[in-house]
Structure 1
Amino acid sequence: MGTILSAKNIYKTYKTSSGDVPALRGVSLEVEKGMFYAIIGKSGSGKSTLLHTLSGLDRPTKGEVFINGENLYQYSDEKMAVFRRRYMGFVFQQFNLLDEFNVLNNICMPLKLDQRKVDKQFLEEVTGLLRLEDKLKKYPCELSGGEQQRAAIARCLLARPQIIFADEPTGNLDKKTGEDTLDLLQQCSEQFGQTLIVVTHDLEIARQADVIVHIEDGKIIL
Protein backbone atom coordinates (compact mmCIF):
# COMPACT_ATOMS: atom_id res chain seq x y z
CA MET A 1 0.00 0.00 0.00
CA GLY A 2 2.86 2.38 0.78
CA THR A 3 3.57 4.77 3.64
CA ILE A 4 1.36 7.86 3.90
CA LEU A 5 2.64 9.22 7.24
CA SER A 6 5.98 8.93 8.94
CA ALA A 7 6.87 10.33 12.37
CA LYS A 8 10.53 10.43 13.35
CA ASN A 9 11.75 10.80 16.95
CA ILE A 10 8.90 13.03 18.18
CA TYR A 11 9.25 14.79 21.53
CA LYS A 12 6.64 17.06 23.06
CA THR A 13 7.22 18.90 26.32
CA TYR A 14 4.70 21.22 27.94
CA LYS A 15 5.96 24.03 30.13
CA THR A 16 3.96 24.54 33.32
CA SER A 17 4.33 26.66 36.44
CA SER A 18 5.72 23.63 38.25
CA GLY A 19 8.22 22.75 35.51
CA ASP A 20 8.49 20.90 32.21
CA VAL A 21 6.08 18.02 31.60
CA PRO A 22 7.16 15.50 28.93
CA ALA A 23 4.15 14.20 26.95
CA LEU A 24 5.99 12.41 24.13
CA ARG A 25 9.48 10.98 24.46
CA GLY A 26 11.07 9.90 21.19
CA VAL A 27 8.07 8.46 19.31
CA SER A 28 8.59 7.10 15.79
CA LEU A 29 5.77 5.63 13.71
CA GLU A 30 5.08 4.55 10.12
CA VAL A 31 1.47 4.62 8.89
CA GLU A 32 0.43 2.70 5.76
CA LYS A 33 -2.18 3.98 3.31
CA GLY A 34 -5.72 2.71 3.66
CA MET A 35 -5.27 1.03 7.03
CA PHE A 36 -7.03 1.47 10.39
CA TYR A 37 -4.73 2.35 13.32
CA ALA A 38 -5.88 2.48 16.94
CA ILE A 39 -3.79 4.42 19.46
CA ILE A 40 -4.45 3.14 22.98
CA GLY A 41 -3.13 3.96 26.43
CA LYS A 42 -4.15 5.12 29.88
CA SER A 43 -5.29 8.66 30.57
CA GLY A 44 -2.25 10.95 30.45
CA SER A 45 -0.15 8.45 28.48
CA GLY A 46 0.28 10.85 25.55
CA LYS A 47 -2.10 9.32 23.02
CA SER A 48 -4.07 12.49 22.24
CA THR A 49 -0.85 14.51 22.13
CA LEU A 50 0.51 12.02 19.61
CA LEU A 51 -2.58 12.37 17.41
CA HIS A 52 -2.44 16.17 17.59
CA THR A 53 1.25 16.12 16.69
CA LEU A 54 0.80 13.69 13.78
CA SER A 55 -1.97 15.86 12.35
CA GLY A 56 -0.31 19.25 12.69
CA LEU A 57 -2.70 20.50 15.37
CA ASP A 58 0.22 20.84 17.79
CA ARG A 59 3.88 21.32 16.89
CA PRO A 60 6.39 18.94 18.50
CA THR A 61 9.22 20.21 20.65
CA LYS A 62 11.56 18.07 18.57
CA GLY A 63 11.23 15.64 15.66
CA GLU A 64 9.65 15.48 12.21
CA VAL A 65 6.36 14.35 10.66
CA PHE A 66 6.11 13.59 6.94
CA ILE A 67 2.82 13.16 5.05
CA ASN A 68 3.19 11.95 1.48
CA GLY A 69 6.86 12.89 1.81
CA GLU A 70 6.08 16.49 2.80
CA ASN A 71 7.72 17.71 6.02
CA LEU A 72 4.70 19.04 7.89
CA TYR A 73 6.60 21.21 10.32
CA GLN A 74 8.44 23.19 7.68
CA TYR A 75 5.08 24.81 6.87
CA SER A 76 3.94 28.15 8.23
CA ASP A 77 0.81 28.06 10.40
CA GLU A 78 -1.22 29.40 7.48
CA LYS A 79 0.05 26.79 5.01
CA MET A 80 -0.40 24.09 7.66
CA ALA A 81 -4.07 25.06 8.06
CA VAL A 82 -4.63 24.81 4.29
CA PHE A 83 -2.82 21.46 4.15
CA ARG A 84 -4.98 20.09 6.96
CA ARG A 85 -8.20 21.19 5.23
CA ARG A 86 -7.20 19.52 1.98
CA TYR A 87 -5.59 16.30 3.14
CA MET A 88 -6.92 15.54 6.63
CA GLY A 89 -10.27 15.03 8.29
CA PHE A 90 -11.01 15.26 12.00
CA VAL A 91 -13.63 13.69 14.27
CA PHE A 92 -13.52 14.59 17.96
CA GLN A 93 -15.30 13.55 21.13
CA GLN A 94 -17.00 16.95 21.05
CA PHE A 95 -19.00 17.16 17.84
CA ASN A 96 -17.98 20.78 17.15
CA LEU A 97 -21.04 21.54 15.03
CA LEU A 98 -22.02 25.19 14.62
CA ASP A 99 -25.38 25.74 16.34
CA GLU A 100 -26.43 28.60 14.06
CA PHE A 101 -26.17 26.48 10.89
CA ASN A 102 -28.27 23.51 9.82
CA VAL A 103 -26.75 20.08 9.25
CA LEU A 104 -26.25 20.60 5.51
CA ASN A 105 -24.34 23.85 6.03
CA ASN A 106 -22.27 22.28 8.82
CA ILE A 107 -21.31 19.38 6.57
CA CYS A 108 -20.32 21.66 3.69
CA MET A 109 -18.46 24.23 5.82
CA PRO A 110 -14.86 22.95 5.28
CA LEU A 111 -15.31 23.00 1.49
CA LYS A 112 -16.75 26.51 1.61
CA LEU A 113 -13.81 27.69 3.74
CA ASP A 114 -11.48 26.22 1.14
CA GLN A 115 -13.53 27.81 -1.69
CA ARG A 116 -14.24 24.41 -3.24
CA LYS A 117 -17.49 23.36 -4.85
CA VAL A 118 -19.63 20.72 -3.21
CA ASP A 119 -19.92 17.51 -5.24
CA LYS A 120 -23.68 16.96 -4.88
CA GLN A 121 -23.51 13.33 -5.95
CA PHE A 122 -20.82 12.59 -3.36
CA LEU A 123 -22.79 14.55 -0.75
CA GLU A 124 -25.78 12.31 -1.40
CA GLU A 125 -23.57 9.21 -1.18
CA VAL A 126 -22.03 10.25 2.13
CA THR A 127 -25.26 11.41 3.79
CA GLY A 128 -27.03 8.27 2.56
CA LEU A 129 -24.33 6.03 3.98
CA LEU A 130 -24.54 7.86 7.31
CA ARG A 131 -28.36 7.88 7.32
CA LEU A 132 -28.61 11.67 7.39
CA GLU A 133 -30.80 12.32 4.32
CA ASP A 134 -33.78 13.44 6.41
CA LYS A 135 -31.68 15.46 8.88
CA LEU A 136 -30.06 17.98 6.53
CA LYS A 137 -32.45 20.85 7.29
CA LYS A 138 -32.38 20.27 11.04
CA TYR A 139 -30.12 22.15 13.47
CA PRO A 140 -27.64 20.47 15.86
CA CYS A 141 -29.89 21.09 18.87
CA GLU A 142 -32.59 18.98 17.17
CA LEU A 143 -30.33 15.93 16.82
CA SER A 144 -29.38 13.13 19.18
CA GLY A 145 -25.73 12.65 20.16
CA GLY A 146 -25.31 9.84 17.65
CA GLU A 147 -26.85 11.93 14.87
CA GLN A 148 -24.57 14.86 15.70
CA GLN A 149 -21.52 12.61 15.53
CA ARG A 150 -22.69 11.19 12.19
CA ALA A 151 -23.01 14.77 10.93
CA ALA A 152 -19.46 15.47 12.15
CA ILE A 153 -18.24 12.36 10.28
CA ALA A 154 -20.06 13.49 7.11
CA ARG A 155 -18.39 16.91 7.41
CA CYS A 156 -15.04 15.15 7.67
CA LEU A 157 -15.66 12.83 4.71
CA LEU A 158 -17.06 15.38 2.27
CA ALA A 159 -13.68 17.05 1.82
CA ARG A 160 -12.26 13.64 0.71
CA PRO A 161 -9.33 13.62 3.17
CA GLN A 162 -6.53 11.13 2.70
CA ILE A 163 -6.22 10.62 6.46
CA ILE A 164 -8.97 10.73 9.10
CA PHE A 165 -7.88 11.50 12.67
CA ALA A 166 -10.45 10.62 15.34
CA ASP A 167 -9.88 11.44 19.02
CA GLU A 168 -12.20 9.38 21.26
CA PRO A 169 -15.01 9.70 18.67
CA THR A 170 -17.40 7.57 20.74
CA GLY A 171 -16.56 9.14 24.12
CA ASN A 172 -19.82 11.11 24.42
CA LEU A 173 -22.06 8.32 23.15
CA ASP A 174 -23.71 5.35 24.84
CA LYS A 175 -22.18 1.95 24.10
CA LYS A 176 -24.56 0.86 21.32
CA THR A 177 -24.53 4.26 19.57
CA GLY A 178 -20.75 4.37 19.92
CA GLU A 179 -20.35 0.94 18.32
CA ASP A 180 -22.66 1.88 15.45
CA THR A 181 -20.84 5.18 14.91
CA LEU A 182 -17.41 3.56 14.80
CA ASP A 183 -18.69 0.88 12.41
CA LEU A 184 -19.93 3.63 10.09
CA LEU A 185 -16.66 5.56 10.35
CA GLN A 186 -14.68 2.43 9.54
CA GLN A 187 -17.05 1.46 6.71
CA CYS A 188 -16.79 4.92 5.15
CA SER A 189 -12.99 5.07 5.38
CA GLU A 190 -12.74 1.63 3.75
CA GLN A 191 -15.21 2.54 1.01
CA PHE A 192 -13.39 5.78 0.15
CA GLY A 193 -9.86 4.36 0.57
CA GLN A 194 -8.87 6.56 3.51
CA THR A 195 -6.38 5.94 6.30
CA LEU A 196 -8.04 5.98 9.74
CA ILE A 197 -6.18 6.83 12.97
CA VAL A 198 -8.31 6.58 16.12
CA VAL A 199 -7.36 7.42 19.70
CA THR A 200 -9.40 5.31 22.10
CA HIS A 201 -9.35 3.86 25.60
CA ASP A 202 -11.83 1.15 24.50
CA LEU A 203 -10.09 -2.16 23.83
CA GLU A 204 -13.12 -3.47 21.92
CA ILE A 205 -12.72 -0.62 19.44
CA ALA A 206 -8.96 -1.12 19.26
CA ARG A 207 -9.34 -4.81 18.40
CA GLN A 208 -11.14 -3.84 15.17
CA ALA A 209 -8.04 -1.99 13.94
CA ASP A 210 -5.46 -3.34 11.52
CA VAL A 211 -2.69 -2.02 13.78
CA ILE A 212 -2.76 -1.21 17.51
CA VAL A 213 -0.29 1.40 18.74
CA HIS A 214 0.12 1.15 22.53
CA ILE A 215 1.54 4.27 24.16
CA GLU A 216 2.71 4.48 27.77
CA ASP A 217 4.44 7.40 29.50
CA GLY A 218 4.97 9.12 26.15
CA LYS A 219 6.60 6.13 24.45
CA ILE A 220 5.29 3.46 22.09
CA ILE A 221 5.34 0.03 23.73
CA LEU A 222 6.01 -2.82 21.32
Structure 2
Amino acid sequence: MASSKPLARFWEWGKNIVCVGRNYAEHAQEMKTAVPSEPVFFLKPSSAYVREGCPIIRPYYCRNLHHEVELGVVIGKRAQEVPKEAAMDHVAGYALCLDMTARDTQEQCKKKGLPWTLAKGFSTSCPVSDFVPKEKIPDPHQLKIWLKVNGELRQEGDTSVMIFSIPYIISYISRIITLEEGDVILTGSPKGVSAVQGNDEIEAGIQGVLSMRFKVEEQK
Protein backbone atom coordinates (compact mmCIF):
# COMPACT_ATOMS: atom_id res chain seq x y z
CA MET A 1 0.00 0.00 0.00
CA ALA A 2 1.35 3.43 -0.90
CA SER A 3 2.03 5.78 1.97
CA SER A 4 -0.42 8.61 2.56
CA LYS A 5 2.44 10.76 3.85
CA PRO A 6 4.24 13.16 1.48
CA LEU A 7 7.61 11.43 1.32
CA ALA A 8 9.16 14.49 -0.30
CA ARG A 9 8.67 16.18 3.10
CA PHE A 10 10.34 13.39 5.08
CA TRP A 11 11.99 15.92 7.42
CA GLU A 12 8.59 16.80 8.87
CA TRP A 13 7.73 13.32 10.12
CA GLY A 14 10.72 10.98 9.82
CA LYS A 15 11.63 9.45 13.17
CA ASN A 16 15.32 8.64 12.97
CA ILE A 17 18.47 10.28 11.65
CA VAL A 18 21.18 7.62 11.68
CA CYS A 19 24.68 8.95 10.97
CA VAL A 20 27.55 6.74 9.83
CA GLY A 21 30.95 7.99 10.94
CA ARG A 22 34.36 7.51 9.36
CA ASN A 23 33.03 6.02 6.11
CA TYR A 24 35.76 7.71 4.04
CA ALA A 25 39.31 6.61 4.80
CA GLU A 26 40.83 10.06 4.24
CA HIS A 27 38.36 11.64 6.65
CA ALA A 28 39.24 9.04 9.30
CA GLN A 29 42.90 9.91 8.75
CA GLU A 30 42.36 13.67 9.06
CA MET A 31 40.50 13.04 12.33
CA LYS A 32 43.41 10.87 13.50
CA THR A 33 41.13 7.88 14.06
CA ALA A 34 41.34 4.30 12.84
CA VAL A 35 39.54 3.21 9.69
CA PRO A 36 36.67 1.07 11.05
CA SER A 37 36.17 -2.59 10.22
CA GLU A 38 32.41 -2.26 10.85
CA PRO A 39 30.13 0.77 10.49
CA VAL A 40 30.28 3.25 13.36
CA PHE A 41 27.01 5.12 13.81
CA PHE A 42 25.20 7.52 16.09
CA LEU A 43 21.80 9.25 16.15
CA LYS A 44 20.50 12.77 15.78
CA PRO A 45 16.98 13.75 16.89
CA SER A 46 14.51 14.71 14.16
CA SER A 47 14.54 18.24 15.62
CA ALA A 48 18.08 18.56 14.22
CA TYR A 49 16.66 19.08 10.72
CA VAL A 50 16.84 22.56 9.25
CA ARG A 51 15.70 23.56 5.78
CA GLU A 52 17.14 26.05 3.32
CA GLY A 53 16.01 29.57 4.17
CA CYS A 54 16.59 29.05 7.89
CA PRO A 55 20.01 29.47 9.55
CA ILE A 56 22.35 26.97 11.13
CA ILE A 57 22.68 28.05 14.77
CA ARG A 58 26.01 27.51 16.49
CA PRO A 59 25.12 26.46 20.06
CA TYR A 60 26.20 28.74 22.90
CA TYR A 61 28.64 26.18 24.34
CA CYS A 62 30.48 25.60 21.04
CA ARG A 63 33.52 27.57 19.90
CA ASN A 64 34.58 25.24 17.07
CA LEU A 65 31.66 24.31 14.79
CA HIS A 66 32.56 22.06 11.85
CA HIS A 67 30.73 21.18 8.63
CA GLU A 68 30.55 17.63 7.26
CA VAL A 69 28.78 17.17 3.91
CA GLU A 70 27.15 13.78 3.37
CA LEU A 71 24.84 11.86 1.06
CA GLY A 72 21.61 11.04 2.86
CA VAL A 73 19.59 7.91 2.09
CA VAL A 74 15.83 8.26 2.65
CA ILE A 75 14.09 5.05 3.69
CA GLY A 76 10.87 4.27 1.81
CA LYS A 77 9.56 1.29 3.73
CA ARG A 78 10.18 -0.43 7.05
CA ALA A 79 13.52 -2.22 7.23
CA GLN A 80 14.22 -4.80 9.92
CA GLU A 81 16.99 -7.39 9.60
CA VAL A 82 17.18 -6.74 5.87
CA PRO A 83 19.71 -8.80 3.86
CA LYS A 84 22.19 -6.75 1.87
CA GLU A 85 20.79 -8.12 -1.39
CA ALA A 86 17.34 -6.64 -0.65
CA ALA A 87 18.45 -3.41 1.03
CA MET A 88 17.98 -1.08 -1.94
CA ASP A 89 14.32 -2.11 -2.16
CA HIS A 90 13.86 -0.11 1.06
CA VAL A 91 15.29 3.12 -0.39
CA ALA A 92 12.87 5.81 -1.55
CA GLY A 93 15.47 8.33 -2.57
CA TYR A 94 18.25 10.61 -1.43
CA ALA A 95 19.05 14.02 0.03
CA LEU A 96 22.15 16.07 0.65
CA CYS A 97 22.79 16.54 4.36
CA LEU A 98 25.24 18.33 6.61
CA ASP A 99 26.38 16.76 9.85
CA MET A 100 27.17 19.91 11.81
CA THR A 101 29.47 19.07 14.69
CA ALA A 102 30.50 20.98 17.79
CA ARG A 103 34.05 19.68 17.47
CA ASP A 104 35.38 21.07 20.72
CA THR A 105 32.44 19.57 22.58
CA GLN A 106 32.93 16.25 20.82
CA GLU A 107 36.57 16.14 21.93
CA GLN A 108 35.53 16.85 25.52
CA CYS A 109 32.93 14.06 25.34
CA LYS A 110 35.51 11.62 24.00
CA LYS A 111 37.93 12.38 26.81
CA LYS A 112 35.21 11.90 29.43
CA GLY A 113 33.71 8.80 27.79
CA LEU A 114 30.39 10.56 27.32
CA PRO A 115 27.83 10.29 24.49
CA TRP A 116 28.06 12.73 21.58
CA THR A 117 24.57 14.22 21.90
CA LEU A 118 25.78 17.73 22.78
CA ALA A 119 28.22 17.66 19.87
CA LYS A 120 26.00 16.15 17.20
CA GLY A 121 22.34 16.45 18.19
CA PHE A 122 21.69 20.14 18.79
CA SER A 123 18.90 21.94 16.92
CA THR A 124 19.87 22.78 13.28
CA SER A 125 22.71 20.24 13.32
CA CYS A 126 21.27 18.46 10.25
CA PRO A 127 20.69 20.87 7.35
CA VAL A 128 18.95 18.94 4.58
CA SER A 129 18.19 19.48 0.89
CA ASP A 130 15.12 18.69 -1.14
CA PHE A 131 14.22 15.02 -1.60
CA VAL A 132 15.58 13.32 -4.72
CA PRO A 133 13.59 10.24 -5.87
CA LYS A 134 15.62 7.06 -6.30
CA GLU A 135 14.85 6.96 -10.02
CA LYS A 136 16.81 10.19 -10.56
CA ILE A 137 20.03 8.71 -9.18
CA PRO A 138 20.66 5.35 -10.91
CA ASP A 139 23.89 4.70 -8.97
CA PRO A 140 24.36 6.46 -5.61
CA HIS A 141 27.90 5.10 -5.48
CA GLN A 142 28.95 7.31 -8.40
CA LEU A 143 28.21 10.78 -7.07
CA LYS A 144 30.43 13.78 -6.42
CA ILE A 145 29.54 15.81 -3.36
CA TRP A 146 31.09 19.15 -2.46
CA LEU A 147 30.93 21.99 0.04
CA LYS A 148 32.08 25.61 -0.06
CA VAL A 149 32.34 28.19 2.73
CA ASN A 150 32.05 31.80 1.56
CA GLY A 151 32.77 30.59 -1.97
CA GLU A 152 35.92 28.65 -1.02
CA LEU A 153 35.89 24.92 -1.76
CA ARG A 154 36.43 23.00 1.49
CA GLN A 155 35.14 19.48 0.79
CA GLU A 156 34.95 17.42 -2.37
CA GLY A 157 34.45 13.68 -2.44
CA ASP A 158 33.16 10.77 -4.48
CA THR A 159 30.75 8.25 -3.03
CA SER A 160 32.57 5.51 -4.95
CA VAL A 161 35.26 5.50 -2.25
CA MET A 162 32.94 4.99 0.72
CA ILE A 163 34.28 2.17 2.88
CA PHE A 164 30.85 0.63 3.41
CA SER A 165 28.29 0.57 0.61
CA ILE A 166 24.71 1.75 1.04
CA PRO A 167 23.24 -1.80 0.93
CA TYR A 168 25.75 -2.94 3.54
CA ILE A 169 24.97 0.05 5.78
CA ILE A 170 21.20 -0.47 5.57
CA SER A 171 21.55 -4.18 6.28
CA TYR A 172 23.91 -3.58 9.20
CA ILE A 173 21.82 -0.87 10.84
CA SER A 174 18.52 -2.72 10.32
CA ARG A 175 19.83 -5.64 12.40
CA ILE A 176 20.16 -3.22 15.33
CA ILE A 177 17.64 -0.42 14.74
CA THR A 178 14.41 -0.93 12.84
CA LEU A 179 14.31 1.72 10.13
CA GLU A 180 10.95 3.30 9.36
CA GLU A 181 9.60 5.10 6.33
CA GLY A 182 11.00 8.63 6.26
CA ASP A 183 14.12 7.80 8.29
CA VAL A 184 17.40 9.09 6.89
CA ILE A 185 20.86 7.56 6.96
CA LEU A 186 23.81 9.93 6.61
CA THR A 187 26.50 7.91 4.86
CA GLY A 188 29.65 9.66 6.03
CA SER A 189 31.73 12.68 5.10
CA PRO A 190 34.77 13.03 2.83
CA LYS A 191 37.89 14.82 4.00
CA GLY A 192 38.12 18.58 4.37
CA VAL A 193 35.97 19.26 7.41
CA SER A 194 36.70 22.67 8.91
CA ALA A 195 35.33 25.39 11.15
CA VAL A 196 32.63 27.94 10.35
CA GLN A 197 31.81 31.19 12.13
CA GLY A 198 28.77 33.39 12.52
CA ASN A 199 27.77 35.07 9.23
CA ASP A 200 29.57 32.44 7.12
CA GLU A 201 27.65 31.06 4.17
CA ILE A 202 27.79 27.34 3.44
CA GLU A 203 26.96 26.10 -0.04
CA ALA A 204 26.91 22.37 -0.76
CA GLY A 205 25.80 20.15 -3.58
CA ILE A 206 25.60 16.85 -5.39
CA GLN A 207 27.20 17.51 -8.76
CA GLY A 208 24.60 17.60 -11.53
CA VAL A 209 21.72 16.99 -9.11
CA LEU A 210 21.14 19.84 -6.64
CA SER A 211 22.73 22.39 -4.32
CA MET A 212 21.73 24.25 -1.15
CA ARG A 213 22.84 27.28 0.89
CA PHE A 214 22.76 28.04 4.60
CA LYS A 215 23.91 30.96 6.72
CA VAL A 216 25.55 30.36 10.10
CA GLU A 217 24.36 32.38 13.10
CA GLU A 218 25.38 32.47 16.75
CA GLN A 219 22.93 31.35 19.42
CA LYS A 220 21.80 34.40 21.39
Q: Which TM-score bucket, shorter chain as reference?
A: under 0.3
Q: Which TM-score applies when normalising by structure 1? A: 0.23
Q: Which TM-score applies when normalising by structure 2? A: 0.23
Greater helix share, structure number? 1
